[in-house]
A and B are shown apart, each in its own frame.
Chain A
Amino acid sequence: MAGLLQNKPLLCDNIPWVEALRQKGRRAFEEQGLPTAKTEYWQYTKPRDLNADDFVMQNSEDYEFLTRDEHHHCDCGGNCSCGHHDETEGIDLNNRLLPFDAYYLYFANGMFIPMYPALPAGVEVKPLAEALADGEAKPYLGKLVDIEKHPFAALNTAYLEEGVFLRIQAGVKLNKPLVIWNHTEVDDENVFYNLRHLIILETGAEAEIFEYSDYCGAEKSRYFANSVNEIFLSADAVLRHYKLQDEAYKANHVALTAVRAKAAARYHNFCFQRGANIGRNEVIVNLCEEQAAAEVNAAYKMSGWATLDFTTDIEHLAPATFSDQLVKGVVDGDARGVFQGKIEIHPDCVATEGHQLHRAILLSDTAEVDVKPELKIYADDVKCSHGAATGELDEDQLFYMQSRGIDVDEARRILVEAFLDDVLLKIENEAIRAYVKSRV
């Protein structure tokens, strides 16, 4: 029985800089502890369930770092008879393909399954542990997240070992989406794991990434998935980053994505949050050079006792930078939706635009939505806007549909779908959009 700080063996524990970073993370978490209502940006979402002392952490297996050539390359997603997939214990990879053409990377309970898609030249993927061992991760790790202010990122840093290191070389455009599939399966134990992904797009590189979290297993078991993404976009790079969180109602999912965008780089984020006890997605974007742009969109839909939290922090650090956010939520039962959106325009960042809009629908009397917009503007000649509205489904619209023979539940579903339609259109990839829609 153990809480969140455990002494579990970690890969690469013989590398001093890695160990030093982990120690720093551990200390930072010890100092801050779990967030309380007093912690900045944790006013509404209360991760008190994570105080439990019965989290089990699994030990990662050493991948026996193969050389590139020896890695198994296969796009079948587990559907072929090459024999390699059978070695991956504990997870059935059969039928683990999404209904669109993509490259797949799989994690099971936070552990990388050593199966590599056949990626085009100029696209490099390896397990984080390998990038720790060869030192390639060093210039990137922890550079975008202040662990003294983000307790869960500190905790994540204490357990650095699992995740991917993805680098796309200058000018390379990935021809298919890359799916990072994070599958959780728990039986009787309450599992805790951490993931850390480093994503680097060099000058002019382009990619689409689809992060997918799903779950199967016992309904009663809790788990805690704590992930951090650090994303580095060089000049003119374009990253479309989609995420679908579709988990068990006892899942605790805390994720932080921190992005640095250089000149004219574009970061498009879309996050759809569905299941979870607590689902928190925080996106920090630093627009560091002129013409850098970010679109940070999200939708959430839930019932039961869930809390789904989408928190953003857009930092305009250079003139002529642009950001736009549309967040829409549908909340039923006793669930709670949280949106905290900060836009900060730093001094002298003229000719900058930052827009933000949040809309939510409450489907029950006990559902709740908390919204905290925060605009900090320290420059002239900027265009900024924000808006928030929370309402209910329109009774007259419901009756109109019923009076045409449409079942009331069907009418509700149609109205909810219509409400979410414009935000889902922010997913530019049609196949991914169709898939996400099918999960709404």
Chain B
Amino acid sequence: MSTPLLEIEDLQARVCDREIIKGFNLTINEGEVHAVMGPNGAGKSTLSNVICGKPGYEVTGGSIRFKGKNLLALSPEERAREGIFLCMQYPVEIPGVPTATFLKHAVNAIRKHHELPELDTMEFVKMLREEGKKLGIDNEMIKRPVNVGFSGGEKKRLETLQMSILKPALSILDEADSGLDIDALKVVADGVNALRDGHRSMLVITHYQRLLNYIVPDFVHIFADGHIVKSGDKNLALELEEKGYAEFVKEK
């Protein structure tokens, strides 16, 4: 039996008075991995930002339900605590805030929400070291301010680390593969796959079929001009690689 986790119905959203999401429909059940592929400027990042509640994105129609709740009524932090995580295309630098401090705030905010005791510094550091090791993130990096001076690949690895320790029910990966070399790509994919336990779900946004060799999706959707133009299984990604977007956008 599949339980719906995220249900998006006829979503319309605008940024700066421009209609970007135009009648978007998608249901993600527990444990499923969905890939979304689409041309530049199609609105993929916009969609992820709308799901996460980023200010400046105005929903003008439709609905988003998460675990049956009206997601649009929740603040960004409430959505995160409910279990939505956005692995950002462009992670933000925060000078003056050590990465470890930032992560501790995040972990404890989410634990508190689930009525778990907050981790003390010792427990937290131990957990961080273990998870960091798997992703090739050393202590020195964790002491540095959030993303400041991190290379593109390091930023993506830090995003993956956050996902690993926050253990979200739904991870949205917005071009987690951009700027990664082959080895880093495997490391990030391993981190993502470690969370696949049959219950957690993923929404993987990418331009390249390559990532989907590592994170194998249950469904692939082609997203153009603000909505899904075609859905299929993992083979759709291969077909897309061959034919390009033009074919599918035309189909509509």
Contact = CB atoms under 8 A, between A and B. Distances in A.
Interface stretch (A45-53, A373-381, A401-409): A401-409
Contacts of A407: 77, 109
B9 to A, nearest CB: 23
B109 A405 contact: yes
B80 A404 contact: yes
Interface string B135-149: 000000000011000
Interface stretch (B17-25, B92-100, B124-132): B92-100
Given A405-B106, A410-B105, A415-B97, A400 B88 contact: yes
Task: Determine chain A's interface SS by DSSP, over half rule.
Answer: helix
A97 B54 CA distance: 46
B166 interface: yes
Nearest to B107: A405
Contact of B106 (A406, A415, A422): A406
Nearest to A404: B106
B52 interface: yes
B97 A408 contact: no
Contact of B80 (A395, A403, A421, A422): A403
A396 B97 contact: no
Contacts of A418: 94-97, 145
B163 to A, nearest CB: 10
B96 A421 contact: yes
Interface residues on B, range: 20 to 34
A404 B55 contact: no
Given A418-B95, A419-B96, A421-B96, A403 B86 contact: yes
A402 B77 contact: yes
Interface residues of A, number: 23
A397 interface: yes
B47 to A, nearest CB: 14
A173 B162 CA distance: 49
Contact of A402 (B80, B94, B102): B80
Given A395-B55, A418-B94, A405 B77 contact: yes
A367 B110 CA distance: 33
Interface string A365-402: 00000000000000000000000000000111101111
A402 B92 contact: no
B113 A405 contact: yes
Nearest to B145: A418
A400 B52 CA distance: 10
Contacts of A408: 75-77
B81 interface: yes
Contacts of A421: 96
A414 interface: yes
Interface in B110-128: 110, 113
B62 interface: no
A205 B122 CA distance: 42
B97 A414 contact: yes
A74 to B, nearest CB: 38
A71 to B, nearest CB: 45
A407 B54 CA distance: 14
Interface string A205-222: 000000000000000000
Contacts of B52: 403
Contacts of B166: 404-405
A421 B148 CA distance: 16
Given A402-B75, A403-B86, A418-B97, A397 B105 contact: no
B232 interface: no
A404 B94 contact: no
B91 interface: yes
A337 to B, nearest CB: 19
Given A396-B92, A397-B92, A414-B105, A403 B97 contact: no
Contacts of B77: 402-403, 405-408, 411
Contacts of B53: 402-403
A400 B94 contact: yes
Contacts of A411: 77
A418 to B, nearest CB: 3
B77, B85, B101: most-surrounded residue (chain A CB, <10 A): B77
Contacts of B113: 405
Interface string A55-84: 000000000000000000000000000000
Interface string A280-297: 000000000000000000
Nearest to B86: A403
Interface of B: 52-56, 75-77, 79-81, 85-86, 88, 91-97, 101-102, 105-106, 109-110, 113, 145-146, 162, 166
5 closest residue pairs by CB, A with B:
A418-B96, A404-B106, A405-B80, A402-B76, A400-B92
27 contacts: A395-B55, A395-B56, A397-B92, A397-B94, A399-B54, A399-B76, A399-B92, A400-B146, A401-B94, A401-B105, A403-B52, A403-B54, A403-B85, A403-B86, A404-B85, A404-B102, A404-B105, A404-B106, A404-B162, A405-B81, A406-B77, A406-B105, A408-B75, A415-B94, A415-B96, A418-B95, A418-B145
